[in-house]
């Protein structure tokens, strides 16, 4: 699903966020990317979604080389990726329903089909009764679940999450990670960046460890203790 091949990213000003990074994530696999802050976790996710371009090396996503995706092709690429953010990035002036609906509106799905899929997504994250509420009236954990419903509503093959539990207490964090594991079981490839090692260990999934932009460990799910 994802293949990084000798990928380096140097930002303007000379800071090297990633250097010669190579790894692969298989179809339907779930993996964590971890490391101290500034290790390059966010940069890695940004390269996948083409928010940033690599300085060197090649990234292949679902058989497609990202270096060949031009500016005009970026929207189409992103419509195939569900993204979850630490600060959930919901639109606070719209209902839960309208927020979750957005990827389907962008995908030009007809209204009746939109409503059906939005409700299915909200049901999966346990928020079906909240569709008419504004995000501000929800708790932090509920808001993050709305963000996840929005990420999966268009049924992307790849789900990426950048510190999705960063603002949540441990109990809620476990719940959220459990949701990601459920989506993996439904066939979605999931890549989660997180620095919460105890939580990651609990999940028993593959862990990719970065340090100063270099891959220092790649622990298979079966070896996680």
Partner 1 sequence: MSAAAPETAEAPRSGRSRARRVAGWREHHGWSAAASLRRLAGRPVGTFLTVAVMGLALALPLAFYLLLANVQSLGDGLGRNAAVSVFLKPDQAGPQAELLAKTLRERADVAAVAVKTPQQGMDELATMQGFSGALHALDEHNPLPYVLEVTPRADLDAAAFERLSADLRGERAVDLVQDSGQWRQRLDALLALGRRIVEALALLLAVAALLVVGNTVRVDIASRSEEIGVLTLMGASHAFVRRPYLYAGIWYGLFAGVLAVLLALAVEWALAGPVAQLGQVYGGRLRLGGLPPWLLLATPLASALLGWLGARLVSAWQLRKAA
SS3 62: coil
Report the nearest approach of partner 1 to the CB of residue 70 (Å): 12
Query: In angstroms, how far is CA 216 from the centroid of its own chain?
Result: 22
**Shorter beta-carbon distance to partner 1: residue 16 or 182:** 182
DSSP classification of residue 67:
G
Radius of gyration over every alpha carbon of the chain, rounded to an integer in angstroms: 17
* 202 contributes a contact to partner 1 by CB under 8 A: no
Q: Which residues contact 31 (CB under 8 A, 6 or more apart)?
A: 25, 190, 191, 192, 205, 206, 207, 208
Residue from 48, 83, 127, 215 that binds partner 1 (CB under 8 A)?
A: 83
User: For residue 137, which of 98, 94, 174 has the smallest C-alpha distance?
Assistant: 94
* 115 contributes a contact to partner 1 by CB under 8 A: no
Tell how strand 189-193 and strand 64-65 pair up: unpaired
Is residue 45 a contact partner of residue 193, using CB atoms and an 8 Å limit?
yes
**Rule CB under 8 A: which of 127-156 touch partner 1?**
150, 154-156
Interatomic CA distance for residues 57 and 13, integer angstroms: 20
* 105 contributes a contact to partner 1 by CB under 8 A: yes
* Per-residue contact flags (x/-) with partner 1 for residues 46 to 65, judged by CB under 8 A: ---x-x----------x---
Q: Write out the two tokens for 90.
A: 């919901």
**Shorter beta-carbon distance to partner 1: residue 77 or 115:** 77
* 122 contributes a contact to partner 1 by CB under 8 A: no
Report the nearest approach of partner 1 to the CB of residue 132 (Å): 15
**Count of positions on this chain that bind partner 1 (CB under 8 A):** 32
* 75 contributes a contact to partner 1 by CB under 8 A: yes
Report the nearest approach of partner 1 to the CB of residue 184 (Å): 17
Site residues for partner 1 per CB under 8 A: 49, 51, 62, 73-81, 83, 89, 91, 93, 102-111, 150, 154-158
């Amino acid at each position: 699903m994802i293949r990084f091949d000798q990928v380096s990213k140097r930002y303007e000003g000379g800071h090297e966020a990633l250097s010669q990074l190579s790894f692969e994530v298989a179809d339907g696999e779930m993996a964590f990317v971890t490391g101290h802050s500034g290790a390059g976790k966010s940069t890695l996710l940004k390269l996948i979604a083409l928010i940033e371009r690599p300085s060197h090396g090649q990234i292949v996503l679902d058989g497609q080389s990202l270096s060949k995706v031009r500016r005009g092709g970026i929207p189409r690429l992103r419509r195939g990726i569900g993204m979850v953010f630490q600060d959930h990035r919901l639109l606070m002036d719209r209902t839960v329903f309208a927020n979750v609906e957005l990827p389907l509106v962008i995908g030009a799905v007809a209204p009746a089909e939109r409503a059906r899929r939005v409700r299915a997504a909200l049901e999966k994250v346990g928020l079906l009764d909240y569709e008419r509420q504004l995000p501000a009236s929800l708790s932090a954990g509920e808001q993050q679940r709305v963000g996840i419903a929005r990420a999966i509503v268009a049924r992307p093959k790849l789900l990426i999450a950048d510190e999705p539990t960063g603002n949540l207490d441990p109990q809620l964090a476990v719940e959220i990670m459990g949701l990601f594991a459920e989506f993996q079981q439904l066939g979605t490839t999931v890549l989660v960046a997180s620095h919460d090692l105890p939580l990651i260990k609990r999940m028993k999934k593959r862990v990719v460890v970065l340090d100063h932009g270099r891959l220092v460990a790649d622990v298979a799910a079966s070896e996680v203790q």
